[in-house]
């Protein structure tokens, strides 16, 4: 075979090979040619690449001893094409120690000289001396070599105008982070080389930094949220790690969930309620749309249809015998319910007529304000209170009796003139208001709130109250005030309010809504429409990237906010749970007809 090749190529094989190589070399493009721009124009404070964009370089001259994580995140997540270079190299420990000792001696001498001249102390110099002493101490104790940081930032823009606009925003963030920075004037090319992955500092600007401060500056240095007794809220979309949070270890235990219809709010609430039951919590749900029925029955909970014809009854005059102030609190609860039922009360009606009528009707039932042993007796019913008012010949009492008549002895007596028949023992209780007319919902809501308070005051079992579609209540001052009272006081009762609504504006609909918003330790933001994003971003301090992300979040994706911490989450729903929880009419119809595609639709959100 080799002989045949020699005959084909002939004796001039080497000469032909050299000629071919020379001809290719003349027009060949190397890797550098492919990567390098066609032209580069260097200006004083930026570099322009005609037809491709422009770049500007900054170097960080000084930084505070400890950087705030939220300030760094705002820089790293800047809404522009940004490149951050942090080059770190160890310094000679002996040289640094000698330099610091010189500084200490010089500052001591200056302070002594000022004292001898009877001058006031220079507090700036005192602070610098304290910092030098602390650095020397750390240098001796840690046995770690000191380090030098070259921190360089490059920002790209489509053209110089866009670059200037973005530069102003970035420099505002650098100022907010308390950084001392400069544009690399007349040295932009060296700065551009520095931010490349060459591992070299071509600018020469650097400052010393300790290991602890440096460790908190890297973008991947994040706290992992893995509380052993917590609920797995979801997977961090940036790190892939599970975020497991114990609500009851936070400053308060309240959670707000905001997102448009179909974004996954109700599904997440069912997910969290299920985990709450599995972890031994007590869970109450106020269900406006009947979303939680299948979940409740699957978990063996108590599902209460609160319609006016329901067999589940709640006595307006019930007392909680475990409450040390049961009689007086029962009076206040009854007056609050009557305030709604009778369309408002005057001061005389409330404090003179109704208070006396309550005291009389309770006394006739043998329930006395100063004898707690009587508080477990069967309470009177609404018709008994009506009878006392009707027997009162005063005109105001007769007017109250007329207004109370439909509820106590009239057409609505079956719903409100009754003894309580609800099971108190179940760990999961769902109050469904789906079949309650909107005009009667406030009355039922008040009864439910009273019932939940009575259970929360009993023992210190960790408790979650879930309120779905809360927009209905936040616009009503009475209901919003009741929820706000829970938001304020639940923490001391080992309970948390978990509230979901569709728009951030719902949380400004009343004074009570504002209290609920301001007392929440956590906020979960699901997908939003474009018209609502600006207000939500301003309300919860989102940066531009997070605000834009709200528009395109998929089902089950959210942004979890805990003070300065913003976590991009994805909550995977197990497929075996999804078909029990879903209320999507299309999915229900598909499952009802045995359509195999329905199972695949569950798994879209059910797979991480």
CATH code assigned at 522: 3.40.50.300
Q: Say if residue 206 is exposed, middle or buried (CB neighbours under 10 Å; 0-12, 13-18, 19+).
A: buried
Residue 29 placed within a domain: no
Question: At residue 596, does pLDDT exceed 90?
Answer: no
| Chosen domain end from 380, 415, 450 | 415
The answer to whether 546 touches 537, Cβ cutoff 8 Å, is yes
Instruction: Give the tens place of pLDDT for each residue, 29-51.
Output: 666 666 667 788 999 999 999 88
Q: Are strands 81-90 and 147-157 parallel, antiparallel or unpaired?
A: antiparallel
Residue 104 placed within a domain: no
Residue 382 shares a structural domain with residue 430: no
| Distance from C-alpha of 417 to C-alpha of 429, rounded to nearest angstrom | 22
Q: How confident is the model at residue 9 (pLDDT cuts 50, 70, 90)?
A: very low
C-alpha Rg value of the chain to the nearest Å = 35
Residue 396 shares a structural domain with residue 496: no
pLDDT given for residue 65 in this prediction: 72
Residue 458 shares a structural domain with residue 363: no
State the total domains in the chain.
4
80-102 burial: b if 16+ Cβ within 10 Å, else e: bebebbebeeeeeeeebeeebee
Residue identified by tokens 């005009």 is 439
Residue 521 placed within a domain: yes
Instruction: Give the tens place of pLDDT for each residue, 371-417.
Output: 999 999 999 999 999 999 999 999 999 999 999 999 999 999 999 99
The answer to whether 404 touches 416, Cβ cutoff 8 Å, is no
pLDDT given for residue 353 in this prediction: 94
CATH code where residue 358 lies = 1.10.8
Percent of the chain residues past pLDDT 70, beyond the cut: 87
Residue identified by tokens 């109370």 is 404
Reduced 3-state DSSP string for 356-400: HHHHHHHHHCCCCCCCHHHHHCCCCCHHHHHHHHHHCCCHHHHHH
The answer to whether 211 touches 147, Cβ cutoff 8 Å, is yes
Tokens describing residue 38: 């066609």
The answer to whether 64 touches 178, Cβ cutoff 8 Å, is yes
Q: How confident is the model at residue 290 (pLDDT cuts 50, 70, 90)?
A: confident
| Distance from C-alpha of 442 to C-alpha of 490, rounded to nearest angstrom | 21
Residue 410 shares a structural domain with residue 431: no
Residue 447 shares a structural domain with residue 392: no
Give the residue-averaged pLDDT of 536-560.
Answer: 88
| Distance from C-alpha of 456 to C-alpha of 302, rounded to nearest angstrom | 17
Q: Give the residue among 429, 124, 403, 95 at the shortest CA–CA distance from 292.
A: 429
| Distance from C-alpha of 42 to C-alpha of 189, rounded to nearest angstrom | 7
Mean of the per-residue pLDDT values of the chain: 83
Which phi and psi angles does 577 have, rounded to 5°?
Answer: -90, -35
Residue 447 shares a structural domain with residue 497: yes
**Three-class SS state of 241:** coil
Residue 53 placed within a domain: yes
Instruction: Give the tens place of pLDDT for each residue, 292-331.
Output: 988 998 998 989 998 888 888 889 999 888 888 889 989 9
| Chosen domain end from 391, 415, 439 | 415
Q: What is the DSSP letter of 199?
A: -
Residue 132 placed within a domain: no
**Three-class SS state of 282:** strand
Residue 589 shares a structural domain with residue 495: no
pLDDT given for residue 11 in this prediction: 47
Residue 267 shares a structural domain with residue 198: no
pLDDT given for residue 25 in this prediction: 55
Domain extent at residue 596: 573-608
Tokens describing residue 119: 């001058």
Reduced 3-state DSSP string for 138-181: HHHHHCCCCEEEEEEEEEEECCHHHHHHHHHHHHHHHHHCCCEE
Rounded to the nearest angstrom, the gap between the alpha carbon of residue 373 and the centroid of all alpha carbons in its chain is 46
pLDDT given for residue 603 in this prediction: 39
Instruction: Give the tens place of pLDDT for each residue, 469-525.
Output: 887 777 776 778 888 888 888 888 888 999 998 888 877 777 877 888 888 889 999
Residue 161 shares a structural domain with residue 194: yes
**Three-class SS state of 224:** coil
pLDDT given for residue 68 in this prediction: 66
Facing residues of 285 across strands? 430, 466
Residue 453 shares a structural domain with residue 517: yes
61, 65, 135, 147, 338 from 208: Cα distances, Å:
10, 10, 11, 6, 70
- The 10 Å Cβ neighbour count of residue 413 is 17
Give the residue-averaged pLDDT of 228-255.
Answer: 88
List, as own/partner pairs, every contact residues 110-115 make where C-beta atoms lie below 8 angstroms and the sequence separation is at least 24, other chains included: none
pLDDT given for residue 561 in this prediction: 92
Q: In terms of residues, how long is the chain? A: 608
Residue 137 placed within a domain: no
Residue 163 placed within a domain: yes
453-473 burial: b if 16+ Cβ within 10 Å, else e: bbbbbbeeebbbbbbbbbbbb
Facing residues of 569 across strands? 236, 558
Q: Give the residue among 160, 197, 194, 177 at the shortest CA–CA distance from 57.
A: 194
3, 19, 23, 31 from 28: Cα distances, Å:
33, 14, 9, 10
Residue 60 shares a structural domain with residue 181: yes
pLDDT given for residue 597 in this prediction: 37
| Chosen domain end from 167, 193, 215 | 215
Instruction: Give the tens place of pLDDT for each residue, 139-182.
Output: 776 666 678 889 999 999 999 999 999 999 999 989 988 899 99
pLDDT given for residue 593 in this prediction: 45
The answer to whether 184 touches 202, Cβ cutoff 8 Å, is no
Give the residue-averaged pLDDT of 53-77.
Answer: 82
| Distance from C-alpha of 317 to C-alpha of 307, rounded to nearest angstrom | 19
| Distance from C-alpha of 305 to C-alpha of 10, rounded to nearest angstrom | 98
pLDDT given for residue 450 in this prediction: 84
pLDDT given for residue 79 in this prediction: 79
Torsion, CA 56, CA 61, CA 65, CA 69, rounded to 10: 0
Residue 11 placed within a domain: no
Residue 453 shares a structural domain with residue 537: yes
Which phi and psi angles does 170 have, rounded to 5°?
Answer: -65, -40
């Amino acid at each position: 075979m080799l002989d045949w090749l020699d005959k084909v190529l002939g004796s001039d094989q080497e000469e032909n090979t050299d000629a071919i190589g020379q001809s290719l070399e003349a027009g060949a493009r190397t890797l550098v040619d492919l990567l390098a721009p066609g032209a580069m124009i260097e200006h004083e404070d930026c570099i322009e690449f005609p037809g491709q964009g422009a770049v500007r370089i900054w170097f960080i001259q000084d930084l505070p001893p400890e950087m705030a994580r939220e300030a760094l995140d705002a820089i790293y997540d800047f809404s522009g094409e940004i490149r951050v270079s942090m080059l770190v190299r160890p310094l000679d420990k002996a040289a640094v120690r000698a330099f610091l000792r010189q500084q200490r001696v010089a500052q001591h001498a200056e302070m002594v000289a000022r004292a001898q001249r009877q001058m006031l102390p220079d507090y700036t110099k005192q602070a610098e001396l304290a910092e030098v002493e602390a650095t020397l101490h750390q240098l001796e104790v840690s046995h770690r070599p000191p380090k030098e940081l070259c921190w360089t930032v490059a920002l790209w823009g489509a053209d110089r105008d866009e670059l200037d606009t973005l530069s102003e925003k970035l420099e505002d963030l650098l100022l907010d982070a308390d950084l001392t920075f400069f544009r690399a004037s007349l040295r932009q090319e060296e700065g551009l080389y520095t931010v490349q992955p060459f591992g070299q500092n071509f600018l020469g600007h650097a400052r010393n930094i300790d290991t602890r401060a440096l460790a908190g500056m890297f973008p991947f240095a994040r706290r992992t949220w893995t509380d052993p007794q917590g609920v797995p809220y979801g997977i961090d979309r940036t790190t892939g790690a599970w975020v497991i949070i114990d609500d009851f270890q936070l400053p308060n235990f309240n959670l707000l969930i905001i997102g448009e219809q179909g974004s996954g709010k109700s599904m997440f609430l069912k997910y969290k309620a299920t985990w709450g039951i599995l972890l031994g919590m007590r869970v109450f749900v106020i269900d406006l749309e009947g979303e939680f029925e299948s979940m409740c029955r699957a978990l063996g909970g108590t599902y209460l249809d609160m319609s006016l014809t329901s067999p589940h009854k709640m006595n307006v005059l019930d007392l909680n015998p475990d409450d040390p102030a049961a009689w007086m609190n029962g009076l206040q609860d009854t007056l609050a319910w009557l305030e709604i039922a009778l369309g408002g009360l005057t001061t005389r009606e409330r404090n003179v007529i109704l208070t006396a009528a309550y005291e009389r009707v309770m006394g006739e039932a043998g329930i006395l304000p100063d004898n707690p042993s009587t508080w477990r007796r069967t309470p009177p019913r609404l018709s008994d209170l009506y009878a006392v008012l009707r027997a009162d010949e005063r005109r105001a009492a007769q007017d109250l009796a007329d207004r109370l008549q439909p509820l106590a002895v009239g057409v609505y007596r079956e719903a409100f003139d009754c003894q309580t028949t609800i099971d108190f023992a179940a760990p999961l209780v769902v109050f469904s208001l789906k079949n309650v007319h909107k005009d009667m919902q406030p009355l039922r809501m008040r009864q439910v709130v009273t019932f939940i308070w009575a259970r929360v005051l009993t023992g210190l079992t960790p408790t979650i109250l879930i309120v779905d579609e809360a927009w209905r209540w936040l616009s009503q001052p009475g209901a919003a005030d009741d929820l706000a009272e829970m938001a304020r006081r639940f923490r001391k009762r080992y309970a948390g309010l978990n509230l979901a609504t569709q728009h951030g504006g719902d949380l400004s609909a009343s004074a009570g809504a504002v209290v609920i918003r301001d007392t929440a330790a956590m906020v979960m933001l699901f997908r939003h429409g474009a018209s609502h994003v600006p207000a939500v971003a301003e309300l919860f301090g989102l940066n531009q990237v997070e605000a834009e992300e709200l528009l395109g979040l998929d089902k089950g994706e959210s942004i979890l906010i805990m003070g300065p911490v913003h976590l991009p989450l994805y909550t995977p729903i197990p497929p075996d749970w999804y078909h029990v929880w879903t209320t999507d009419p299309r999915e229900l119809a598909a499952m009802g007809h045995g359509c195999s595609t329905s199972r695949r639709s569950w798994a879209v959100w059910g797979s991480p």
